Structure 1
């Protein structure tokens, strides 16, 4: 135990640009700038965590002070400057953690140090990590120095949240955007490390680690260290899945087979086995959704490049995807996404997942039932019954056998019961009522124009074609509200309520006061809220009664509660707490005696 353990993220931190993984677009630009002596005075390195921002900043600071750089712009690692830098004793590099030193005083202290030229080397490099944590005042104090620093000073700012930095800072820096490291680059780097450390590791295990790290090299190295300690130096695919709490994809293939065969018992038993292994329901839903997404990606060769699975499973995914329809995969993905969203709100988590599996088990059958002539028809989803009231409207007929009805005329056609038509007669297919657009109330109904030449109007055409089977009458015009007829209809409806033995409503209707506002609207005034409810209960039937009486479907009314009369409130409801206690103590003296003995205080 003489040698102190160093984590892989620090032990194998790159020491030159060529060893930086996955950021060739950054390293090539920096090497060319150093070789051509075109260095900017301020850099901003931004990107996700663990992709090499601080590492590149240190390599840049080391390389520009190297006294014997190589031909391709790398540090020699042998000169005094490089040696002191590797040992951590160089005075030409200053690192500031802006997460804990984000005040104006910290930036002022940094600016004071910039005034002093380097004792050895050409440049003094100031690396400010997590620069987005600086306060607005600290940013403003840094502006002037960042815009016009001394010739020997170079600032390198690093951040994971570029959007939080002031635009005035961004405009003074040369910005480099770091990208996530691909899984292939991560696997290759991990393979180099396990070879150096003489660790036995399966490539499939390294691919799982790369997927779990999501493009962060530092996370992948930390995961590798943990698994090596967990497995005592042997990294396999199975123990990697166990350590990272990842469900084996074979379970998802088995689950999909059960659902395709509508084997609900097999699917439920398989989930029970997964649950007994300690996997929570949300992990199962999330993993199964990712599995279905991978199958959907494999359906099209153009999108197959998006498939990121361990080596050896690509062919199995492709074969399985060819057996499953796209409609099933899309519907399954939709159900799993909805179940995952609602998982946190479910009380019985296991039952919630099982219900989702039951839906997926019968999904194929539902898709087959919804197919229409070989094409899948999307079903309309209705959350609950929808009740609505309709009024019968006579159909419009504008032309018949080339005949045009004169504007403003109205026809009502009623079949005579005395002459029934045969089953195959065309009279059975003709509409029972035909109306044309209504005329204004102030104009009388014009008579149909006499036929001109060979043209006939609609009335003559109907009489000639159907003979005496129908009696044609004019539709009555709509009437406006008049108090006499309105009161007559109101009393008639009140009598109908009395026959239905709705005595409470009858009393309300008798005392109601009617006031006409305009030709199609009136107001019903009632004395109390309870009376308003009785009128409101009869609104639909009452309005239908008025529509038929006035032959006008535009009539409506509003209910007004008269606040002049106030309902009497009982005496005990008008008392406050003190008055109530005094009244109780007056009727029951023992209550007051009990309060005095127990020394109680009444909350008045």
Structure 2
């Protein structure tokens, strides 16, 4: 029986024109070869399976070809090309840096560079997965990479460009490979199934291309598996079954149930999906992608971003027009949060069902949060609101010229100032229709009297005046009694024992006549008092009849606590502080090339 060769190796491109989806790179390389402007070092970087190593081999083959075509391609007929295709060329050397990443391996490579090629123009050294080299190996490679012999060319390939030292990057021509598009992948698969005489629906090939995520090697591997599974007949249904993909029809049904607030229907549909073996994270991810595609369809300009199978674009467009954009955006946010927290959930099924319940009532929540069809911002109502004060100007008792009993206030003469936070003076007009006329003006002796005494003398029994209580200044003894009264009240109301204990242990000290300080021993005690600060301040203000009283919370660091020091330092400062105490820690960071998480 003939040995089977996987499609990824069997159909590996042999020249630049066969490379799929990297025309911007192949054109540059061909022009450099035609114009004899070949650099001594190249760096090919990009995702897996997009043609980095393939392009490196094609370039090594082309620059040693003795009879290249006018387009800059290898002829595939000369001795150099034939030996390369057979795998016995002496001018091409490949090194796997993942398993040969030490300084000794690089030294052996440098020793080989010293010898000129026996046949051909160049000796090409392809170093794959170059980011796996150690820091010492990179440093040993620097001098040779910067000034190699005229016949030596280095081609480095990596999937993680950020791990390569900047000194290496500056010595190379960098080519960034991109992911292969869905259309290019489908066209290449169609060419292969035509050569292999395989029957396949185009929607099945599109599913394979979507699953590969821009990696041609993965697409060819998936194709080989499904061909074996279906015996050479690929359909949409057997491809969906083999790739464990949830059909879009389920997502359309699920969206219809959720948008109609049919929670029972959505739960039953998820039960059906779960019985087919689909995990919750797969459902969340697939539904989020489905919502994203609907959101893209809302605007005709963004329709090119729609990533769905051929023939389903119209269904998506019609459904998108029937759903509000606000609903789609909110649903996408809920699904994203649920997917992030899925790994931490103990009950995975309940976590997904809770997400579906939220989506079921999302339409009702959006209606409640709108006014006259316009979405408005939520108002913050749970924040503490400071006591607002307003300064009252000075008052005097003027003449009353009206025949009726009226009180007119003018700011003509200075009088005793009433404190701002005190209650207002309430004056009731006489209920009888009898009128009185005040003839005498306020004498010099009356100006020295209290405002309440003047009012009583003028209007007598016809006007009831409520007496104003004088505001008291802070007194430490009364303050402590008031503080203890609040502790007893909090304890009787079922308050937390930790908070009550903290209040009793706190030390009070007067700052001035309207403020005092509360000293505690730790940050946790400070947090307990801050939770009760509003109620406690109001209680003390009522006891002293003074709305201007305030207090501050101070912390004595008598209890060792490392948290406050760490809170004031960023990541770099904390590392430097540890490095001063443990010098080897800095050496470990440099050797492992670690980065601080800022």
Which residue is 1:268 aligned to? 267
SS at match of 1:118: coil
SS at match of 1:310: coil
SS at match of 2:180: coil
Which structure 2 residues correspond to residues 520-539 of structure 1 after superposition, within 5 A?
520=514
Which residue is 1:479 aligned to? 473
Distance 1:159 1:524 in 2: 62
Maintained 8 Å contact 2:537/2:549: no
The normalised TM-score by structure 2 is 0.73
Which residue is 1:414 aligned to? 425
Maintained 8 Å contact 2:130/2:156: yes
Which residue is 2:181 aligned to? 182
Distance 2:192 2:482 in 1: 94
TM-superposed CA distance for 1:148, in Å, is 1.0
SS at match of 1:142: helix
Which structure 2 residues correspond to residues 563-602 of structure 1 after superposition, within 5 A?
none
Maintained 8 Å contact 1:69/1:75: yes
Maintained 8 Å contact 1:522/1:558: no
TM-superposed CA distance for 1:207, in Å, is 0.8
Which structure 2 residues correspond to residues 303-342 of structure 1 after superposition, within 5 A?
303-342=302-341
Which residue is 2:28 aligned to? 29
Deviates more, 1:90-99 or 1:472-481: 472-481
TM-superposed CA distance for 1:551, in Å, is 3.2
Distance 1:557 1:306 in 2: 57
Maintained 8 Å contact 1:46/1:158: yes
Which residue is 1:602 aligned to? none
Which residue is 1:505 aligned to? none
Return 5+ residue gaps in structure 1 as ranges: 423-446, 448-467, 503-508, 527-534, 564-604
**Considering only CA atoms, is the larger Rg found in Structure 1 or Structure 2?**
1
TM-superposed CA distance for 1:141, in Å, is 1.0
Q: Residues 186 and 117 of structure 1: is their aligned pair in 2 closer, same or farther, counting only changes over 3 Å?
A: same
Maintained 8 Å contact 1:523/1:560: no
Which residue is 1:345 aligned to? 344
SS at match of 1:55: helix
Which residue is 1:15 aligned to? 14
Matched, 1:300 2:299: yes
Maintained 8 Å contact 1:524/1:557: yes
Maintained 8 Å contact 1:478/1:552: no
Distance 1:251 1:117 in 2: 64
Distance 2:342 2:125 in 1: 48
Which residue is 1:368 aligned to? 367
Which residue is 1:530 aligned to? none
Which structure 2 residues correspond to residues 24-103 of structure 1 after superposition, within 5 A?
24-103=23-102
Deviates more, 1:31-40 or 1:253-262: 253-262
Which structure 2 residues correspond to residues 123-134 of structure 1 after superposition, within 5 A?
123-134=122-133
Which residue is 1:601 aligned to? none
The normalised TM-score by structure 1 is 0.73
Distance 2:432 2:19 in 1: 94
Deviates more, 1:60-69 or 1:261-270: 261-270
TM-superposed CA distance for 1:356, in Å, is 1.8
Return 5+ residue gaps in structure 2 as ranges: 395-407, 434-446, 448-461, 495-502, 521-528, 559-598
1:553 corresponds, among 548, 559, 568, to 548
Which residue is 1:444 aligned to? none
Which residue is 1:429 aligned to? none
Distance 1:421 1:236 in 2: 99
Q: Residues 62 and 279 of structure 1: is their aligned pair in 2 closer, same or farther, counting only changes over 3 Å?
A: same
Distance 1:332 1:60 in 2: 49
Distance 2:103 2:471 in 1: 84
Residue-by-residue CA offset, 1:481-509 (whole Å, 9 max, x unaligned): 476x769x769969x99xx9x9xxxxxx9
Which structure 2 residues correspond to residues 416-565 of structure 1 after superposition, within 5 A?
416-417=427-428, 419=430, 476=470, 479-481=473-475, 518-520=512-514, 544-545=539-540, 548-549=543-544, 551=546, 553-554=548-549, 556=551
Distance 2:183 2:552 in 1: 74
Which residue is 1:237 aligned to? 236
SS at match of 1:128: strand
Distance 1:58 1:162 in 2: 20
Q: Residues 341 and 557 of structure 1: is their aligned pair in 2 closer, same or farther, counting only changes over 3 Å?
A: closer
Maintained 8 Å contact 1:547/1:555: no
Distance 1:13 1:237 in 2: 27
TM-superposed CA distance for 1:294, in Å, is 0.4
SS at match of 1:415: coil
Which residue is 2:577 aligned to? none
TM-superposed CA distance for 1:342, in Å, is 2.3
SS at match of 1:192: helix
Maintained 8 Å contact 2:50/2:217: yes
Q: What do you get for the CA RMSD once the two structures are aligned? A: 4.2
Distance 1:370 1:234 in 2: 53
Deviates more, 1:549-558 or 1:122-131: 549-558
Residue-by-residue CA offset, 1:432-469 (whole Å, 9 max, x unaligned): xxxxxxxxxxxxxxx9xxxxxxxxxxxxxxxxxxxx97
Q: Residues 379 and 229 of structure 1: is their aligned pair in 2 closer, same or farther, counting only changes over 3 Å?
A: farther
Deviates more, 1:355-364 or 1:11-20: 355-364
